[in-house]
């Protein structure tokens, strides 16, 4: 309760007052200046006892999952939706067990093409619950129906478990709405963005119908974690290089996965993919690989558009109580809306 009240006060403070109260120099790396409110927020976060900068400090993935999700529950990190959004949970029966899908129905539907959404969390944590505030905001701002998938998590379920779940959910959604797959868009953040790209690649390589488009928000792309941004922003900016290496290790079934273009998205699949919107953040270890993926798609003749937010960090769509994060999220939504209305 005390933390919640403190954060509510913090998020309400104007930036000019924050600068007067907190004597910090602005952080500049690679000619990018970190948003000041975000910078102070990261400083507050570093005071927490539990951080996933180094997942190896936890006894198990299950312990990490429980601590992170419980520590964030109820915190006012997200902006409120501007219209009523109703939710309805569905169950998809499969040979791997029931899969839960949460449907978001805005009061006014302005976009006809539905979105199948995959949450982030390094494939190890995250759920439809952790991303519920963001998706209510997303659905309300865009006026679109969103279906959020609770896919199986690693390391209990290695690659390609989540891919199997996502493909099943896409086909279920097409049947449920009596829509062809090419009228449905895929979207995800971080690991969820990798899952969206992985699913599109899988369907392309297997000559299956492709989704209308894909929106990849600061995507995981490169399991080698060898980009310049992985080193430049290795720690201190919410997501760490150590965490990324650990996440990929928990997801990977065997070393053979590194040669699979469905797993390792840095490998050219030499096939047509859906039109793609790639979102990158300046102070994010994944920034360079997201940009490289956009270039790879472009060089292959695919329609791709990249938006870069140099002043923000990984995970910002789940932190829309921060002014700059909210503005960027609304900008993404407006661009994505045009993708779906074309």
What pLDDT, in 10s, does the model give residues 243-280? 999 999 999 999 999 999 999 999 999 999 999 999 99
Would you call 138 helix, strand, or coil by DSSP?
A: helix
CA 335 → CA 44, 142, 331, distances in Å? 32, 10, 6
Beta bridge partners of 101: 90, 149
Q: What is the pLDDT of residue 105?
A: 98
Taking the alpha carbons of 266, 231, 193, 152 in that order, is the dihedral positive or negative?
Answer: positive
Q: What is the pLDDT of residue 96?
A: 87
Residues facing residue 147 across a β-bridge:
103, 116
Pairing mode, strands 213-217 and 275-283: parallel
The answer to whether the beta carbons of residues 115 and 186 sit under 8 Å apart is yes
Token match 């199986």: residue?
A: 152
Residue from 274, 272, 279 nearest 335 by CA: 279
Give the model's pLDDT for residue 47.
63
pLDDT digits (tens, 9 = 90+) for 204-253: 999 999 999 999 999 999 999 999 999 999 999 999 999 999 999 999 99
The C-alpha atoms of residue 17 and residue 8 are separated, in whole angstroms, by: 15
Packing angle, helices 2-12 and 36-45, rounded to 10: 170
Cα separations (Å) of 314 from 100, 123, 271?
26, 15, 29
- The pLDDT value given to residue 103: 98
Give me the pLDDT at residue 48, please: 62
Residue 203's alpha-carbon distances to 162, 170, 200, 211, 261, in angstroms, are 14, 11, 5, 9, 12
pLDDT by residue for the chain (342 residues), tens only, comes to 678 888 999 999 999 899 998 888 999 999 999 999 999 999 988 766 455 667 777 778 888 888 888 878 788 999 999 999 999 999 999 998 999 999 999 999 999 999 999 999 999 999 999 999 999 999 999 999 999 999 999 999 999 999 999 999 999 999 999 999 999 999 999 999 999 999 999 999 999 999 999 999 999 999 999 999 999 999 999 999 999 999 999 999 999 999 999 999 999 999 999 999 999 999 999 999 999 999 999 999 999 999 999 999 999 999 999 999 999 999 999 999 988 876
């Amino acid at each position: 309760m005390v933390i919640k009240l403190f954060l509510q006060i913090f998020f309400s403070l104007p930036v000019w007052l924050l600068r007067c109260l907190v004597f910090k120099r602005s952080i500049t790396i690679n000619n990018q200046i970190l948003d000041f409110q975000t910078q102070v927020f990261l400083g507050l976060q570093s005071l927490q006892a539990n951080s996933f900068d180094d997942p190896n400090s936890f006894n198990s993935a299950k312990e990490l999952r429980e601590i992170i999700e419980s520590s964030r529950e109820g915190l006012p990190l997200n902006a409120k939706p501007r219209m009523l959004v109703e939710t309805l949970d569905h169950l998809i029966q499969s040979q791997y067990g029931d899969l839960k899908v949460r449907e978001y129905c805005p009061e006014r539907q302005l976009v006809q093409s539905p979105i199948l959404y995959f949450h982030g969390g390094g494939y190890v944590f995250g759920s439809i619950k952790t991303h519920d505030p963001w998706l209510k905001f997303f659905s309300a701002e865009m006026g679109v129906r969103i279906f959020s998938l609770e896919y199986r998590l690693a390391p209990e379920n290695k690659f390609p478990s989540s891919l199997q779940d996502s493909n099943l959910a896409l086909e279920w959604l097409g049947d449920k709405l009596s829509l062809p797959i090419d009228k449905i868009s895929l979207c995800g953040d971080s690991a969820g963005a990798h899952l969206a790209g992985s699913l599109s690649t899988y369907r392309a390589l297997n000559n299956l119908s492709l989704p209308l488009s894909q929106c990849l928000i600061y995507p995981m792309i490169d399991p080698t974690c060898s980009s310049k941004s992985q080193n430049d922003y290795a720690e201190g900016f919410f997501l760490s290089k150590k965490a990324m290496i650990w996440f990929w290790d928990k997801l990977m079934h065997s070393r053979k996965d590194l040669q699979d273009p469905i797993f390792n998205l840095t490998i050219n699949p030499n096939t047509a993919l859906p039109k793609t919107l790639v979102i990158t953040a300046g102070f994010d270890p994944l920034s360079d690989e997201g940009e490289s993926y956009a270039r790879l798609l472009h060089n292959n003749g695919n329609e791709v558009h990249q938006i870069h937010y140099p002043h923000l960090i990984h995970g910002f769509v789940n932190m829309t109580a921060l002014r700059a994060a909210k503005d960027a999220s609304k900008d993404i939504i407006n661009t994505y809306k045009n993708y779906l209305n074309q």
